[in-house]
Each structure stands twice: as C-alpha cells, then as structure tokens.
A and B are shown apart, each in its own frame.
Chain A
Amino acid sequence: MRDLTQARRGPLLKPGALVKTLPPATRFILRGGPAVRAAAEQALALEVPASPCRAALDGERAALWLGPDEWLLLASEGSAASRAPALSAALQALPHSLVDISHRQIALAVEGPAAETLLAAGCPLDLDARAFPIGMCTRTVLGKAEIVLWRTGTEAFRIEVWRSFAGYLCAFLAEAAHGIG
C-alpha cells in the first residue's frame, strides 16, 4: 500500500507585500465551561485565557479565546500532537467538545510598519494598539472573508482563515497594498 503521510498539499497562495504564509500547524477547537478551561490549562501547561479576545502564547503553542465557551488551540506541528491525548484524558470526565481542525484553516502573518494600515483596508475594527493591543485576538472580517485576527507584535498580526478563502485573502491584501500610501 502506498504511504501518502508525507503528501500534504496546502492551498496555492501568492501573498503580496507585507504578507507571508506560515507553516502548517496543529489546531483544535476546544469548547466547554469554566471547568474545562481550567482542566485544559493544567493538562497543556499553557494559559487558556478566561478574558474575552485574549490569546496566550508560550513558545510554539498558543490558546486563543474565541467565545465564552470556545478556544482555538494552536501548536506547531508535532509539539501539540503529543499533548492532545493528555488533553483528551484530562477532559474525560467533563462535558466538552474537542475537535481537530488542523487542516480547516491556514495562517498568514502580516508584518511591518504598515501592517495596521494594510489590514484597515478590509477590517472594520479599530486596530490602533490602544484598542487592539498585543495579545488581542478576535473573529472578524477582512474584505469578504471571515478571519481570526491576532496581534502578535507591535507591527505584527497573525491571520487564521479557512483554507478555501486563503486565495481570496492573499489577493485582497496584495491589491490593498497598492492603496496604503
């Protein structure tokens, strides 16, 4: 039997200026109540934010608050995979939902002094660092695509977007780059 485990192919993307694609990641959506959050925090040895629209980053792993009972857990490939069984085990007794969505979405980085301005071409939120500080994350829209936007640095954002919208999003940002002057 053929082995295709190394035959991953992500969407073909042509990111424009200020934008780059990030490598594949392991992703889970964790849903449940406060007890689930606390248990997950312990099992992962990673802060799972209780505050709305906040992300916690620890090296290669991160937890993003997406809703009162919903978190996006991110890890570079490999590192979190090892923790997933531990997480499942820790949550066994608690009502919750843990779903692997590693392939559902891809990640883009938008970086540079004009990052805020570039995103403002299509994102209706206030991206000023006073309103959208480092560590803030939220579901929002960029152009006509729904995204999760996370500020990872003064001049750096991470976008999580469903894979079929990624091509549109890259083209939208490439076009918007012409208009930020």
Chain B
Amino acid sequence: MTQGFRTVSGGRIDRARVLRFSFDGHAYAGVAGDTLASALLANGVHLLGRSFKYHRPRGLLAAGSEEPSALVAVRRDAARYTPNLRATQVELYEGLEAHSQNRWPSLALDFGAVNDLLSPFIPAGFYYKTFMWPRRAWRWLYEPRIRAAAGLGRAPTQPDPDRYASRYAHCDVLVVGAGPAGLAAAAAAVGAGARVILCDEQNELGGSLLSDSSRAAPVIDGRPAARWLDDTLADLAARQVTLLPRTTAFGYFPHNLVALNERLTDHLAIPAALAPRERQWQVRAREVVLATGAIERPLVFPGNDRPGIMLAAAARTWLNRYGVLPGTRAVVVTASDAAYEAALDLQQAGLAIAMIAEVRDAVPAGLADLTRAAGIPVLTGATVLGTSGRRRVQAIRLARIRHGAVSEPKTLRCDLVLMSGGFTPSVHLFSQSRGTLAWDDAVQAFLPAVLAERARSAGACRGVFELARVRSDGAAAGAAAAREATAPGREGVCPAGALGRSVAAAAAGSAEELAGARGFAGALPQPQRARGKAFVDWQNDVTTRDLALATREGFRSIEHIKRYTTTGMATDQGKTSNLNALGVVSGTLGKAIPDMGLTTFRMPYTPVTFGSFAGSARGDLFDPVRTTPMHSWAVKNGAVFEDVGLWKRARHFPCPGEDLHRAVNRECLTVRNACGIFDASTLGKIEVVGKDAVTFMNRLYTNAWSSLAVGRCRYGVLLRDDGFVYDDGVVARMAEDRFHVTTTTGGAPRVLALMEDYLQTEWPDLGVWLTSTTEQWAVIAVQGPTARPVLESLVDIDMSAAAMPHMSVAVGHICGVPMRLFRVSFSGELGFEVNVPADFGAAVWEAISEAGQAHGITPYGTETMHVLRAEKGYIIVGQDTDGTVTPEDAGLGWAIGKNKPDFLGKRSLQRPAMTSADRRQLVGLLTVDPATVLDEGAQVMLEPAAPVPTRPIGHVTSSYYSATLGRSIALALIGGGRSRSGQTLYVPMPQGDVPVQVASPVFYDPKGERLNA
C-alpha cells in the first residue's frame, strides 16, 4: 500500500527514509519521524481499535499521550509483547509489528460489537445489579466472564527479558514539559546559574512548536520558531542542562520528589543487546517548574466516537508535524478559536472544508474575515445531531438549536470531523503534589491555586495561552525558581512557611486569547428525543446517558458518580473526559461546575511498565543474598540451603540417597552420640562497651547482670515495653565494661536499633556504646559428647570442665588465630562455639572438621539444630513466641531478675492480664501414636470432633520427629497449659482429630547432666 495521504513536503519527517511495518498482519510503509498513528493515517487507515465495553470501531481522537482509543500492542518477539500502547506514542521503526486489540476474529468484523446493540441492557453499574444471584456464581461464572469480556490488551505470557535501569538525580530546578514555556523556564534557570533538568514525554523537545504550520509560523526572537527551537536546544545542551526527551514525569511525591520514566530503546529497530529498555529517574528538585501545557477537549454529541472524528489540534499535528492529511473532506465543529487555525492549515494543504459549525452564537471578528476569504461556510449557534458511517465517519447531521427547538438541519458528507471544545490545562502533576485547584472564571478551567510543594506552573497549564505570554511566563517561572533554589543559606529542605502559598493568578490575557481558549464543557444541546451514544469517556465507554442515569439513581458527589460510571477512571486518567463529565453532570443537576468540585488526579500520568519500577531488583538482585564465610565449604559438601531472612543457611547435609528426614535423623543421632559441627555465624552480635555497660544491660534485659562475673555467660531475654518477648540470646561478660551480646539471626538489626534508640532518647547520660560485630566473627558451633577432644588439640586454652564450665567464655587462639571460645549449648549436649575473625572462618572450620574425623564429627544444618533444641524445650523467638508471649508464658520466668528495680517491660508484666492463670503457656505435646508428627500451626482442642464453631485452646508451635527419642515431639502454647499436665487434648489434622497428651516441654535429659559433662 502507498502512503496516499502523505503531503509532498513539510513536517518533521524524512521522506527519503522509508520504514516498513505491519498492522494486524498487513504490510505498510511509513517514514522516519512517523509514529505508528501518523504512518497508518498516511496509508488511509483510520480504524485502529475496538472500544472497551461496546466494541465500537475506534480511530484516533488525539495525536499525543492523551489518546484514549487507539491502543495497540507491539510485538518484537514472543517475550517482548507490549499491550495497550497509545499508537500516537509508538515511534515507527523498520519492521515494527503492531496489532489491534479487543476484537475477535478481526478488527473489521468483531463479534463483541453485539454489545453495542445490547447496550440498553448494560448501562453503567449493570454488573452491580445483574449478577447478584446466585451469589456463588459470581466467583466461577460472572466475574471470570466479565473479566474476559472487558479489558483491552492481553498480558505478555513470558518473563520480561529486558533490562531496566534506575537513577537518582538532584537538581536546583526540574522543568516538566519542553514546550515554549518549559524551554523558556529552563533557559532562564540555567542562565541564573541553576542545575537544571528538562524532561518531556515526546520524542522531540518543543511541545506545541512541533505542530506549527508553515502558513502562519510564529517568529521568536526574530527567527522562525523551528530555528529558534534548534538554537535553544543546542544552547541548553551546551550549558549542561540535562535534556530528557521520551521521558514522562508520571508521579509527584512529597518533598519535590518527581518520578520520571525514560524510554530508551522502544523506538529502535535493533536495540543494543545489553542496553536497558527504560530508565526510571527519581529526581529530588529544590524547585519544580510545571510547564505541562493544555489538552484540547472533545465535544460531546451523538456518534462523536467514529473513526475520522478527531480533535482539531490533532489534525494540525498530523498535517504540520507528520505531513499527513487525515482525510479529504472535513467538517469542523468548534467552540474555540483554535479549530479555525486547523481548518485554514488543512484547506491550504488541499483538504476540502465543507463547513465550520460554530457552537458559539457568533464567530470572532478576525476569524470571520479569514473564513470568508477562504470561502469556508460557517454555521453559528450550531449543534451536532448525529453522525453516520460504520468504520469511518461518512456524514454528519448539523442543525441550529434554541431551547430544544431544531432549525436548519442539514446532513453533510465528510470523511473527517474536527472538533474543539477549548483547552483543559494539564494540572495532573500539580494536583498529585497535593496542590489545590480553583475554578477560574476568566479561563473557564481549574487552575493551580494553593501550593503544597516548592513548585510553580507556567504557560498553558495555568491558563496562559498566547505564545509570547507563554514564553515570558515560562522565563519568569524559571528565573524565580532558580533564584529560590540557589538563595544563600538554602539547604535542600523546604524553608518554613514556604508551603500553602497561594499562587497569583496569571495576569488575564486579552479577551481574544481567553475567548479562544475557553470553549465548551458538557454535552452539546440536543432535542428532547435524541438518539445515539454521545461519549464523554472514550476509553471506558461512558456516555451522557450513563452520567444521567447515575444522577437519576441519586448520586450527587462527583466522586461517587465517577466510581459508579467509571468516567475518568481509565488508564488515560480522564485527560479528555473529566471536564466534559463535570459539565454534563453540572447541567443535569443544575449546579455550577466550581460547586461540583473535581476528582483527584492520581499517578501515573500515563501507564508505566512494571519493569521500570522493578529496575534491577529481580532474580539474584531482588534482595541481597547473604552468605557466611563457610558458605563455599557447605556448597562443596552438598548442603541443602534455606532462606533465613536474607541469609542462606545450610538446612541439612544429606549423604547420597538421603532425604531431609533421614539426613536429619542421622545428624541428630551423631550429635547426641559423638559430635556435630554447625555454622552459627548468622547470629546477631553486638559489642556493648562502656563504664555503664552493666547498668544498660540491667535496664534492657530481664536478667540480673551485676552478678555475672567476667568470663561467664548468661541466657538473656529482651522484652518490648509491652512485656512480650522480643529477642533472646547468650550474653558473655568479656570485661567489667564489655559485653558480647548475641541475638537471633533475624532480630540482629532490630535489637541494635532498639538499643540505640533507648540510648539516644531515654538514657543519653549512660556512658555506653554499641557496635555491631555480627559479621566480624565467624561462629563455629561444635556440639556433642566428643566436642572437647575435637577442639582441645587445636586451641591454646584449658578446656576442662573445671576451667571452662557450662556458660563460660575464654579468649585465646585456635591454630594461632585469635578466638573467643564460648562454652554454650543449644543442643543440650556438651558444646562450644568458636568465634574467629570472619576471614579465618573457612580455614578454622576445615581444621576442626579434619580434627573431628577421629571423633565421628558430622556437619549439621538448621533443621537438626531445630530438632535438638526442641528435644530440650529451648524456644525459638518468632516460632514458639509470636509477640503475645511473656517470659512466664514461655517458661522463662527463671530468667527474670526478681530483685531488679526495673527493666524494659517490667511494668507491663505486672498487669493482671499478664499474670492470669489461663494465659497460653508453653508445654510439650506427645501424640498417642508416636509415629504421628503434628502440623506446626495446628489448633489444639479440648474435645474431639467439637461442633463448629468452637474455640481452640491453643496451637502447635514446633513439631518434629525425634530420632533420639524414637517418637514425635511437639511444643505448643496452650491456655493454662502447665496445669493440664497429663491431660488428653485433640489436634485437628487433615486425617482427623489426633489425640495428644500434655507433657513437659523438656523431652530429653531434663536434669541437664549432658550439658555439664
């Protein structure tokens, strides 16, 4: 197919560089500089998609990011399939493959279009009323069907193979929008010495200047606008302004944090292999200049959505920027002056203008002369009664209308209808910044009124439209922003009192300028029995009738009407529909627009890919993977790992042919009968040092620390101020003023933070300081009856029971390496924990492992550690406690220093509810059938097969098979548990209620003789 609608010259395209592409499998040609939309129009293709609900044929309404209808999918390969792209923003490249959406079997013949005929039965909110019965059918029938029928593109099915970059940036002035206002602002700001970032969503910077006609090209600083633009951009680049085309400012967050999404490769035929597809910027700007322009409003009349019916400004862009004639014979319907420019541009390019239907009662004088000279007939006081044409508009019915009385009806043949309802300032980002808007009578629009951030608006987005005034407004904003951003003494923070400032309204423009921009909001007047759908929201298929229905059903708040009808709730954020919806509702309720209020604008301004948000945080980089110094040894020796927080910990070390269960049984028996070696490096460690260290420990932990001698260890319990167990661990006193505190693996950061918090805010008078040593030490636990002989040959310390009793610590060397040796046990066996500086961990581990061969040593993992400690009734904070467990509940009452005047949580423990006898207490459970292993988390009941509903009296917290005991064991928190010893309770499991007997939580060596060996 040829580009039959391409002009011979003009536009910002390169006719010599032909690009081939396909749409729905048909081959077409476009040229460099085209978008998919402009290239299709050049080929005479206007039918680009089917609408969301009624499957109506749709074309292009707009030429920019506000396009609501022409959503397409672009496919590069099986994994690179991007749905719901606005055809107006898809830059053409050689070989581009695009597909239409929401149609079956084809775009031209779409069975879903039956919805259009059924529309009387599916008005707004129909799904709230229609699919109510039977209720159960909602889940398996109605919702899946509605979801399948609704929606536009389909999601890609394969993982995204592309790379996404991220960047933080800081600047004095961020300018959003590179039209005449933004360019002037950036130039003024950099001229004042500010660091400036200028971004724009389009592929070229220039905004409205890119669509200027050659017929009436503006002159700026004595140069044609196009040359001025080139010069200005070169100048900004030379002055180190960061220029970001293809970059959408999509979100405005507190403290002038603006999120930008930069599209890097989607416009390239063959992107570089490793290049990121997009880059998300988080810009922290001292000052922001919003120069986001204005969007032309469609007019609301029956049949206003047919392909070939578009905004007047869009038609100008097709012609002047892309060299495309969007039709052959046009009718212009307008309530603003801008459409006249479009009509004159198109007529000069050879397109026939059949008529201008002017909604206003009179044509502004200057324009009347121009149209008369051009020979274009004008109908004033006009309305549109309807249009016809299935896949492209073929005719339009115009008339004059007064108080519902129609006169001079006429039907005009045409293949293009241009409409202009005036311009709506783009206040999305300003609104996102929590700035408040106010209705401006002069401009007939909502404009920025009260600031919530260090921001200012310039140009059309605050109701200034005339080019010269736009430029001076931009320059003033840029200069003021630079002045405030670089003021002496200004740090990055907002000066007090800066926010909540009211914005001075732009000095009112000429009456001509304002009249030209104002236009019309709402539905064009219609006779009593008007037919056909008049669309307000193209993307969500919301018509005037839906809005009227909502008001008839009693909705009054615009927020409710929005949600009931879904108007303005599509991905286009109501860019073309919000003000018209307000106008329609305002007309129906007889309430002025400013009294109706405006709904909130939300981010993103235009849709952003998930990849952009994820950045590099996927796969191995999703989160840091923390490994210990002995990790490589564990990998080499076949460890199976589990994730514990960010750590990889060896869970078990299976021998060939062993599953988890067998490996754990073997590891447990080996530790009980010989010796095991275990990597405990992930435990948190905090060095608490200072003259007041013992006072600090006394205030924080429940235990009495004053009586702990240097060289001895104690099991410490840490509560929150509400009295519940927060963390636990062994604490060693290394010197009078120095404690080596250990915490749980997961608790390390929060315990340090809690300690630091108390020191800084409650007890700044204490002479004590904290240093995390978690990663300074590699910790190698050697546990079991033969642990002593394994280590004795390697260390320079007397390890005898007399010299190193249970819960003692010594400083010495192992194989010449400095060491802190703890005699502690989390297994119930004789045990030691070797602490060496981390870089020595691997070598020392290997040396111990080697020395242990003669003593039957085996490496064991976290699963075995869990079983061994459960056999002894040692709790794991976070597994056997859940933030509602007191030390007494957990059987740790003995760890409370009864004579201490205070400790963190002490007062809470004295509340009656905390000492009640029926609190859930930690007990052991023994299943009547020793082979049955209970599910962790299972509920515990008083009676078997209790009728529902019933109340459990507790739950299972830990449950294992114990090879040592030859039976299952479990720990549970049971209401009044310790008084139920011997009682039979019932645990509902998938196979039925399992009878269990309440027992002591210490299943093995209750006297602790093995510990003290």
Residues of B159-205 whose CB lies within 8 A of A: 163-170, 195
Q: Note all chain B residues with C-beta closer than 8 A to A3.
A: 815-816
Q: Note all chain A residues with C-beta closer than 8 A to B817.
A: 4-5, 7
Interface size for chain A: under 10, 10 to 19, 20 to 34, or 35 or more residues? 35 or more
The chain A residue with its CB closest to the CB of B766 is: A95
Binding site for A on B (CB under 8 A): 163-170, 195, 274-276, 279, 282, 284, 492, 616-617, 620-621, 623-629, 632, 646-647, 687, 689-692, 767-777, 793-794, 796, 814-817, 837-844, 847
- Contact digits for A126-154, partner B, Cβ 8 Å, 1 yes 0 no: 10100100000000000111000000000
B621 x A121 contact (CB < 8 A): no
A178 x B691 contact (CB < 8 A): no
Nearest-neighbour CB distance to chain B for A21, whole angstroms, equals: 13
A1 x B815 contact (CB < 8 A): yes
B647 x A164 contact (CB < 8 A): yes
Most buried by B among A97, A102, A181: A97
Q: Note all chain A residues with C-beta closer than 8 A to B774.
A: 104, 162
A178 x B838 contact (CB < 8 A): no
A4 x B840 contact (CB < 8 A): yes
B816 x A31 contact (CB < 8 A): no
Q: Note all chain A residues with C-beta closer than 8 A to B626.
A: 164-165, 168
Q: Note all chain A residues with C-beta closer than 8 A to B843.
A: 4, 7-9
A144 x B617 contact (CB < 8 A): yes
Most buried by A among B492, B773, B777: B773
B621 x A99 contact (CB < 8 A): no
The chain A residue with its CB closest to the CB of B844 is: A4
**CB contact under 8 A between A104 and B775, given known A1-B816, A121-B167:** yes
Q: Does A112 contact B (CB under 8 A)?
A: no
Q: Note all chain B residues with C-beta closer than 8 A to A180.
A: 165
Q: State which of A37-45, A46-54, A169-177 sits at the interface with chain B.
A: A169-177
B617 x A97 contact (CB < 8 A): no
Which listed residue, A103, A121, A181, touches B275 by the CB 8 Å rule? A181
In the complex the two chains form, what is the Cα distance from A162 to B687 in whole Å? 16
**CB contact under 8 A between A24 and B282, given known A4-B817, A162-B775:** no
**CB contact under 8 A between A31 and B838, given known A168-B625, A178-B275:** no
Q: Does A29 contact B (CB under 8 A)?
A: yes
In the complex the two chains form, what is the Cα distance from A165 to B628 in whole Å? 10
In the complex the two chains form, what is the Cα distance from A176 to B165 in whole Å? 7
A179 x B163 contact (CB < 8 A): yes
Nearest-neighbour CB distance to chain B for A145, whole angstroms, equals: 6
In the complex the two chains form, what is the Cα distance from A176 to B616 in whole Å? 8
Nearest-neighbour CB distance to chain A for B515, whole angstroms, equals: 46
B167 x A120 contact (CB < 8 A): yes
Q: Note all chain B residues with C-beta closer than 8 A to A175.
A: 163, 616, 621
In the complex the two chains form, what is the Cα distance from A114 to B840 in whole Å? 35
Q: Note all chain A residues with C-beta closer than 8 A to B767.
A: 95
B166 x A121 contact (CB < 8 A): yes
Q: Note all chain A residues with C-beta closer than 8 A to B773.
A: 99, 101, 104
B847 x A2 contact (CB < 8 A): yes
B690 x A179 contact (CB < 8 A): no
A103 x B776 contact (CB < 8 A): yes
B274 x A120 contact (CB < 8 A): no
Binding site for B on A (CB under 8 A): 1-5, 7-12, 24, 29, 31-32, 69-70, 95-105, 117, 120-126, 128, 131, 143-145, 162-165, 167-169, 171-172, 175-176, 178-181
Q: Note all chain A residues with C-beta closer than 8 A to B169.
A: 120
Given contacts A164-B628, A167-B625, A178-B275, 13 further A-B contacts (CB under 8 A): A4-B815, A7-B840, A8-B839, A9-B840, A11-B627, A96-B690, A97-B689, A123-B168, A131-B170, A143-B621, A164-B624, A178-B274, A179-B167
Nearest-neighbour CB distance to chain A for B740, whole angstroms, equals: 10
The 9 closest A-B pairs by CB, nearest first: A179-B165, A7-B843, A97-B689, A31-B769, A168-B624, A95-B767, A97-B769, A164-B626, A126-B170
In the complex the two chains form, what is the Cα distance from A1 to B275 in whole Å? 55
Q: Note all chain A residues with C-beta closer than 8 A to B166.
A: 121-122, 176, 179
Which listed residue, A5, A103, A145, A167, touches B627 by the CB 8 Å rule? A167
A178 x B276 contact (CB < 8 A): yes
**CB contact under 8 A between A5 and B687, given known A144-B623, A178-B163, A178-B276:** no
In the complex the two chains form, what is the Cα distance from A165 to B842 in whole Å? 18
In the complex the two chains form, what is the Cα distance from A97 to B687 in whole Å? 9
Q: Note all chain B residues with C-beta closer than 8 A to A31.
A: 689, 769-771
Nearest-neighbour CB distance to chain B for A172, whole angstroms, equals: 6
Which listed residue, B282, B771, B794, touches A99 by the CB 8 Å rule? B771
Nearest-neighbour CB distance to chain B for A3, whole angstroms, equals: 4
Q: Note all chain B residues with C-beta closer than 8 A to A123.
A: 168
Q: Note all chain B residues with C-beta closer than 8 A to A97.
A: 687, 689-690, 768-771
**CB contact under 8 A between A4 and B847, given known A95-B690, A99-B689, A165-B624:** yes
In the complex the two chains form, what is the Cα distance from A29 to B688 in whole Å? 12
A179 x B170 contact (CB < 8 A): no
Nearest-neighbour CB distance to chain B for A96, whole angstroms, equals: 7
A102 x B617 contact (CB < 8 A): no
In the complex the two chains form, what is the Cα distance from A5 to B817 in whole Å? 5
25 chain-A/chain-B pairs, Cβ below 8 angstroms: A3-B816, A5-B817, A7-B843, A31-B689, A31-B769, A95-B691, A95-B767, A99-B687, A103-B775, A117-B167, A121-B166, A122-B168, A128-B195, A143-B616, A145-B624, A162-B775, A164-B624, A168-B624, A175-B616, A178-B163, A178-B275, A178-B276, A179-B166, A179-B167, A179-B276
Q: Note all chain B residues with C-beta closer than 8 A to A126.
A: 170, 284, 492
Nearest-neighbour CB distance to chain B for A115, whole angstroms, equals: 14
A5 x B621 contact (CB < 8 A): no
Nearest-neighbour CB distance to chain A for B194, whole angstroms, equals: 12
B839 x A12 contact (CB < 8 A): no
Q: Note all chain B residues with C-beta closer than 8 A to A124.
A: 168, 282, 284
A120 x B168 contact (CB < 8 A): yes
A1 x B616 contact (CB < 8 A): no
Q: Note all chain B residues with C-beta closer than 8 A to A98.
A: 689
Q: Note all chain A residues with C-beta closer than 8 A to B796.
A: 1
Q: Note all chain A residues with C-beta closer than 8 A to B793.
A: 1
Which listed residue, A8, A9, A32, A104, touches B772 by the CB 8 Å rule? A104
In the complex the two chains form, what is the Cα distance from A117 to B284 in whole Å? 15
In the complex the two chains form, what is the Cα distance from A179 to B621 in whole Å? 15
Q: Note all chain B residues with C-beta closer than 8 A to A171.
A: 620-621
Most buried by A among B168, B692, B817, B838: B838
The chain A residue with its CB closest to the CB of B688 is: A97
In the complex the two chains form, what is the Cα distance from A105 to B838 in whole Å? 9
A69 x B616 contact (CB < 8 A): no
Most buried by A among B627, B777, B839: B839
B771 x A101 contact (CB < 8 A): yes
Q: Note all chain B residues with C-beta closer than 8 A to A99.
A: 687, 689, 771, 773
Nearest-neighbour CB distance to chain A for B846, whole angstroms, equals: 9
In the complex the two chains form, what is the Cα distance from A164 to B276 in whole Å? 28
Which listed residue, B492, B621, B647, B687, touches A168 by the CB 8 Å rule? B621
In the complex the two chains form, what is the Cα distance from A11 to B360 in whole Å? 76
**CB contact under 8 A between A101 and B170, given known A144-B623, A164-B627, A172-B621:** no
Q: Note all chain B residues with C-beta closer than 8 A to A128.
A: 170, 195
A4 x B816 contact (CB < 8 A): yes
Q: Note all chain B residues with C-beta closer than 8 A to A121.
A: 165-168, 616
The chain A residue with its CB closest to the CB of B647 is: A164
Q: Note all chain A residues with C-beta closer than 8 A to B842.
A: 7, 9
B776 x A100 contact (CB < 8 A): yes
Which listed residue, A103, A145, A181, touches B838 by the CB 8 Å rule? A103
**CB contact under 8 A between A2 and B815, given known A122-B166, A164-B627:** yes
Nearest-neighbour CB distance to chain A for B192, whole angstroms, equals: 16
Q: Note all chain B residues with C-beta closer than 8 A to A95.
A: 690-692, 767
Nearest-neighbour CB distance to chain B for A70, whole angstroms, equals: 8
In the complex the two chains form, what is the Cα distance from A70 to B562 in whole Å? 56
Q: Note all chain A residues with C-beta closer than 8 A to B616.
A: 121, 143, 172, 175-176, 179
Nearest-neighbour CB distance to chain B for A47, whole angstroms, equals: 21
The chain A residue with its CB closest to the CB of B166 is: A121
In the complex the two chains form, what is the Cα distance from A138 to B576 in whole Å? 48
